[in-house]
Amino acid sequence: MNELASPAQLRAAVILRALFTVPLCLGLGFLSARASGSVPDNPWFALLEKPALYPPPLVFPVVWSILYILMGVALALVIAARGARGRWVAAAVFALQLAINLTWSPVFFVGHRITLALAIIVVLIVVLAVTIALFWRVRRMAGVLLLPYLAWVCFASLLNLQFLQLNPVADGAPGPDAVVRVQL
């Protein structure tokens, strides 16, 4: 059969894929945050001097949830674009940027490696920009959906840099839970 899919069939294909990709992106983001203790009451993080631009802690889970939903929908749009040239390359680069994204929290919150976390986020910006360009070629809307994510990651890189500038001694330092207590 050489028939074109109707708009309703295309929407259904995207929705079907989004039922997998959105929970996948949300779940991986949640697991990374949970495993790394990326919460404001993290003992090491609580002791850091916060930049003036640092938003209220509630902003982070809300923004990241929205961004992971947008990422999942964008990925579904690309995967559902049957016959589109470059869709699997775009999906593979998306997977790479997601893996890079998911490494930031453990490096920052568990490893206390602020400089390394900054390097990771800079690499993420580059790979994310490539992902957006590839998604844009497959489905323009998929690229557009990733633009808020790029904006947030750029903002996060600024925060990361400011954390490093304000807390140079904390870079790589063990957390307060690593203190050895001696009882006399």
Q: What amino acid occupies position 154?
A: C
Nearest to 30 by CA among 59, 71, 63, 64: 64
Report pTM. 0.88
The dotted CATH code for 7-178 is 1.20.1260.100
Domain coordinates in residue numbering, the chain: 7-178
Residue 118: partners with Cβ closer than 8 Å, 6 or more residues away? 157, 160, 161, 164
**CA atoms of 79 and 135, how far apart (whole Å):** 10
pLDDT digit string (tens) for the chain, length 184 residues: 455 667 777 778 888 898 999 999 999 999 999 888 887 788 999 999 999 999 999 999 999 999 999 999 999 999 999 888 999 999 999 999 999 999 999 999 999 999 999 999 999 999 999 999 999 999 999 999 999 999 999 999 999 999 999 999 999 877 654 433 345 5
Q: Which residues of 119-142 are buried (b: 16+ CB within 10 A; e: fewer)?
A: ebbeebbebbeebbebbbbbbeeb
